[in-house]
Structure 1
């Protein structure tokens, strides 16, 4: 591979992203074709939480349907991508060598933060996938450091993805108006984040919980934003940001996607 792969942050939104026609879904349908084909994919997912960092090492990871109340057809979907245990163990050793405790998860499958976007990007499910946990009590700096430990993977044909949500407040979803404009408080938070990502203001981003407007409302819990910091860290010291996609659903789910390289 001539140049390192970018790292990605993808907002996966509702599990219905796997089957619904939507702006975010159509974006993901084309994204895989725009990238060099990776030899493997590592996904830090908001729905795989654990401390210390867990690395999925199943040779044939099962598809996890970690959601409820959706149409039956969604539970019949499978994403039968192989795992890559050798890479998982290599990642665990690399993370541990960076001073970040790591643990192998030998039977962990692919949660919907992993398989839903990958089903749209790589529907053939023929690229090995390794999942990575985020710490639901962690902070941005710790997740940037985790990403930094993964940085060399980009030079070895491995695509590093953080899968979460740019604004993620399920309690304020506007189910009556699914096409409603993004709520002003959510838009203010998203705008602040976009500006800081664009200027690579790591100090401000690291303190997003105290400095970003409406931070607590945008993320009542932090696990959906932590994958962004993993992707940011994996791209190196001063990466260039490309804003790949911007859409929203249900008034409070901002579905932005970014590449860092």
Structure 2
């Protein structure tokens, strides 16, 4: 079986599936160009725990973990089957790498089901979630990804779901895409140059080295999943970038696909 790519997705606002001004169709086109996975292991910025937890739910609930949005959004269900075997295997791999991991039954938060709905609308790809650790650094999440790398040989797609820039404090929800803060491009250009150059050390130290890092990520839970996806990639990975634009002035959406050379 072909080794599957690992991905980082900028999942955007919860309204992505229902707001025509947001780039929802692009997720379908991304999926159409990828090998079809047997299952997905999703690390979402919206499930945060002190240590990794793998969800063994056989039928994960659709969690509407947001407030004040249109009723239509709360009526969406994404009834994909779970992947408890993948969750258990992920926990075993992490434990073997010295990363203590537990298991529980957990549903799919919107960082997981929103992109899954757009990429696999028939809800026919099993999906398991693995939590992130907001008090741990990028290096920890890179090690998590490294431990999970062999899952890709078994038809499992490892996906990190977050946002390449995420600062709700400075978001302007009336801003047009062309009114993006120039700091967004300065940050993403730096990040993508280091990704293209395989400069892992600089990426793991992004908070000190990247321009405007703290402004773009006052807290970095929405960026941590990219380090897991990067860790799961091969040492000589090739990268494909799908830029989707910047919204609300400071919320950039870019998807990355890491494939083996």
Structure 2 residue 91 is the aligned partner of structure 1 residue 92? yes
Distance in 1, Cα, partners of 2:22 & 2:254: 11
1:234 aligns with 2:232: yes
TM-score (normalised: structure 2): 0.96
C-alpha distance in 1 between matches for 2:244 and 2:197: 18
Q: Which residue of 2 aligns with 1:128?
A: 126
CA gap of 1:246–1:201, structure 2 versus 1, over 3 A, is: farther
Match of 1:185 in 2: 183
User: Deviations 1:146-179 (Å, cap 9, x if unpaired)?
Assistant: 0011101111111111000000001111122243
Q: Answer whether contact 1:185 1:214 (CA < 8 A) is retained.
A: yes
Taking the aligned partners of 1:244 and 1:4, their CA distance within structure 2 comes to: 21
Alignment correspondent of 1:207: 205
Runs of 5+ unmatched residues, structure 1: none
| Distance in 2 between residues matched to 1:116 and 1:62, nearest whole Å | 13
Per the alignment, residue 105 of structure 1 pairs with 104
Q: Is the 8 A contact 2:175 2:247 kept in 1?
A: no
Please report how far the alpha carbon of residue 238 of structure 1 lies from its aligned counterpart in structure 2 after TM superposition.
2.8
SS in 1 for 2:169: helix
Report the aligned-residue RMSD. Answer: 1.1
List per-residue Cα deviations over 1:221-240 (Å, max 9, x = no partner): 11000000000000122311
Deviations 1:71-102 (A, max 9, x none): 00000001000112122111111111011110
Cα distance in 1 for partners of 2:232, 2:151 equals 8
The one of 117, 131, 137 equivalent to 2:115 is: 117
Deviation at 1:190, TM superposition (A): 1.2
Structure 1 position 22, deviation (Å): 4.2
Indicate the residue corresponding to 2:174 in structure 1.
176
Q: Partner of 2:128: helix, strand, or coil?
A: strand
Give the alignment of 1:9-24 within 5 angstroms.
Answer: 9-22=8-21, 24=23
Residue 83 of structure 1: aligned partner: 82
Deviation >4 Å, runs of 4+: none
How do residues 239-250 of structure 1 correspond to structure 2 at under 5 angstroms?
A: 239-250=237-248
Task: Tell me the equivalent position of 1:155.
Answer: 153
Match of 1:31 in 2: 30
Q: Residue in 2 aligned with 1:146?
A: 144
Deviation at 1:188, TM superposition (A): 1.2
CA distance in 2 between counterparts of 1:150 and 1:182 reads 36
Report the Cα offset of residue 180 of structure 1: 4.1
**Matches of 1:204 and 1:238 in 2, distance apart?**
17
Distance 1:257 1:181 in 2: 21
Gaps of 5+ in 2: none
C-alpha distance in 2, partners of 1:172/1:208? 20
